[in-house]
Structure 1
Amino acid sequence: MKIAVMGMGVAGSYLMARLKNSNHEVIGYERNREENHDSICAWGTIKPVLTEFCKKVDRDFNDFLIHDGKNMHVKMNNDVKFDIGLHGMCTYDKLALIKDFIKDSKIIYGEAPKLEDLEKEYDMIVDCTGFGRAYLPKMKDDFFLPTYEYKVEYEDGVPYDDFYIEPFPGMSGYFWYFPLGEKWAHIGAGDYNKQHIKATDDFLKKHGGKVLKTKGRPIRLATPDRCKPYYSGKVVGVGESIGTVYALLGEGIIPSMQCVDIFVENMNDFAAYEKAIEKHYKVYAKVFNFVRAKIHKDFSFIKALPDFLSIFFYMKKNQDRFGMDIKISDLLKVAKA
């Protein structure tokens, strides 16, 4: 087949690498010019998981590793502070890995062709445009958070030696500090109640630092069950365009790459792809319902207890995938804040 992959973010670039040695003719499109091609949102992930993804396309994740986390410092809005032990959570040069994934592929930069033009030329169009969902039908019931982030340089020492987060009241989002080596960090926040810019600026005023880059965009929290259709005609969605973000953490890198693997296994059968997506991301709906109820102040812990326990057991079972110690006491502190 002749395939167009639209969007060279995490999902699109990894898909290009996965299909590089296939029998298909695959061409990538990135709406930004090559010199402006960038990676939105912080560069945090789980080292063992990314190592396995990279092995599938003959890359060494260690070439892109920046910081190996040991502890995540958490401060709740009621001034409760605690640390979560980390086992694999890290920061990496996300943009460098994206560019490495596509370095040997044909990429057309600075263009966002119309769907009707793509349909004339290609047998399949893969929508990896993330939140934009530019080529799939519009969703009926979207749900997202606005986010804002600075890349900051600290000449006189970094304010934290490891990951640091501050969840907002009612689980409406959180502020993050992700270390990027000896004197750099990503600081930013996402918040349904739109306090994300103030929280980021307040941290900058308190701790100083030189702003090197500013980014902002929405992040989709609506889960795959809310993001149908996954395909329409020649178009099929992969990654955040069909809701592959873990709502409790706002994490989309690993879920989007998992989505790519599921797609590659089922790319000749869209119906089978849909079933595989529904199965893999089933628990995401429970996570989303839990978070949304907190945000909308329509939350009863008694009613939410079954979902809470499902989320806990899912994360505990997959503790290595989340790269941290999963303790029910820590989840309760967040849930009850």
Structure 2
Amino acid sequence: MKSIYLSLTVCSDIMKIAVVGIGVAGAYLMNQLSDLHDVHVQGFERMPEKEHDAVCAWATCDNVMRDYANICGLNFDNYVLHDGKKMRVDIGNGINSGNTIDIKLKGMISYDKLKLIQDMIRGTDIVFEKVPNKKNLEQDFDLIIDSTGFHRHYLPKLSDELWIPCIQYKVKYDQVPFDDFYLKAFPLLSGYFWYFPLGNGYAHIGSGDFRRKQTHVFMDSFMKKYPCEVIKKVGRPVRITPPSKCLPFDDGNKTIGVGESIGTVYALLGEGIIPSTICAQLFVDNLYDKEKYFSQVLSTFKIYTSVYNFIKKRISQNFNIIRDFVELLKIYKYMKKSEDRFGMEINMLNLFKLTKI
């Protein structure tokens, strides 16, 4: 059976593609698709160009993102802000409680996510401050890529999904409270507070909590204990529903989802930069074979369903270490095997400590 992509190119030598949402996945797609001789790609971003921002804590793994930056013709060294050595995960009560897990890092860094996105899209065709009408896009383009993240703007709405509201400040300290990464895990793994250094006294501090109980209380307490200048404040929800529960990945017509719009966030860490970039590369690799792209997304992110089930059970207080040990072990083995991808040492004892929060 012919691919829908192939059928679209029968009447024209050039495939016209619209990429809507210029975040991690959208920027990577613009960079890669713009180099193809048989594709004309145009991007659309709802934010004005001067206000275009990259929401999230800007932490990723150097071991992985270096390769993707290189594919885009960029040197990742130019974007690294802080090279992490140790992450302190606080599982006690209060701020810096002393009841902590210290995780050795092996490639986790904070980086200038916005600058990398801007350099990826430099020279590409993007219309800012616009979310086009879907019917207009369908008239003008052969293919529409929904990389709108949480909004999933052009795809069918999901009937059952899990998302966490998040808030983040970019701040400046005269005296930094921590010299490396710090996380405060909330009860029942409902979310966490983060402090990610950005260098020169700057940091991102933020919080996400499914129950919405801890976020503002802990943020206020932290900022009172460690006074700082607030440079910028952003907030948005993060979808932690995995790809297997974000079907369909298309609208049955011209729209295909890539990145967070189809669930590429690792729920245990709330991390979506690398998964969304991987998803974008899968799309590029399978540009002319939609079914193969869908299949590879489900296969690549299969473990995300186990992680989602684990988090959901913890939040609902339905997790049992004996009954659910096999699923927890599966997650541990995946992360242990992928230490270089996560940029940290994975320890089973630490995972057990987290499950008992």
Q: Residues of 2 paired with 1:15 and 1:198: CA distance? A: 39
Q: Residues of 2 paired with 1:270 and 1:203: CA distance? A: 47
Q: Percent identity?
A: 46
- Check if 1:264 corresponds to 2:278: no
Give the superposition deviation at 1:284. 0.4
- Alpha carbon RMSD of aligned pairs, Å? 0.8
Tell me what 1:14 maps to: 28
Give the superposition deviation at 1:198. 2.0
- Mark the runs of 5 or more structure 2 residues left unpaired by the alignment: 1-14
Q: Residues of 2 paired with 1:121 and 1:184: CA distance? A: 44
Q: Residues of 1 paired with 2:331 and 2:226: CA distance? A: 35
Give the superposition deviation at 1:197. 2.2
The TM-score with structure 1 as length reference comes to: 0.98
Give the superposition deviation at 1:72. 0.3
Q: Deviations over 1:26-54 (max 9, x none)?
A: 00000111111111111100011110001
- Check if 1:170 corresponds to 2:185: no
Tell me what 2:19 maps to: 5
User: What is the aligned counterpart of 2:83 among 68, 77, 82?
Assistant: 68
Give the superposition deviation at 1:82. 2.4
Tell me what 1:91 maps to: 110
Partner-residue secondary structure (3-state), 1:303: coil
Range 90-99 or range 195-204, more displaced: 195-204
User: What is the aligned counterpart of 2:66 among 39, 51, 60?
Assistant: 51
The TM-score with structure 2 as length reference comes to: 0.93
Give the superposition deviation at 1:260. 0.5
Give the superposition deviation at 1:182. 2.4
Q: Residues of 1 paired with 2:32 and 2:295: CA distance? A: 21
Give the superposition deviation at 1:3. 0.3
Tell me what 2:8 maps to: none
- Mark the runs of 5 or more structure 1 residues left unpaired by the alignment: none
User: What is the aligned counterpart of 1:31 among 46, 53, 59?
Assistant: 46
Q: Residues of 1 paired with 2:313 and 2:195: CA distance? A: 26
Partner-residue secondary structure (3-state), 1:96: helix
Partner-residue secondary structure (3-state), 2:264: coil
Range 248-257 or range 193-202, more displaced: 193-202
Give the superposition deviation at 1:201. 1.9
Count residues in correspondence: 336
Give the superposition deviation at 1:64. 0.6
Residue identity in the other structure for 1:162? D
Range 208-217 or range 300-309, more displaced: 300-309
Answer yes or no: is the 8 Å Cα contact 1:74–1:84 preserved in 2: yes
Q: Residues of 2 paired with 1:332 and 1:43: CA distance? A: 27
- Check if 1:231 corresponds to 2:245: no
Answer yes or no: is the 8 Å Cα contact 1:143–1:221 preserved in 2: yes
Q: Residues of 2 paired with 1:269 and 1:135: CA distance? A: 20
Tell me what 2:153 maps to: 134
Answer yes or no: is the 8 Å Cα contact 1:65–1:93 preserved in 2: yes
Answer yes or no: is the 8 Å Cα contact 1:158–1:182 preserved in 2: no
Q: Deviations over 1:45-96 (max 9, x none)?
A: 0011110001111110111110000000111035521210000000000000
Tell me what 2:121 maps to: 102
Partner-residue secondary structure (3-state), 1:249: coil
Give the superposition deviation at 1:213. 0.3
Answer yes or no: is the 8 Å Cα contact 2:92–2:100 preserved in 1: no
Q: Residues of 1 paired with 2:320 and 2:347: CA distance? A: 21
- Check if 1:215 corresponds to 2:229: no
Give the superposition deviation at 1:200. 1.6
Written as runs of structure 1 = structure 2, the 5 A alignment for 1:321-332 is 321-332=341-352
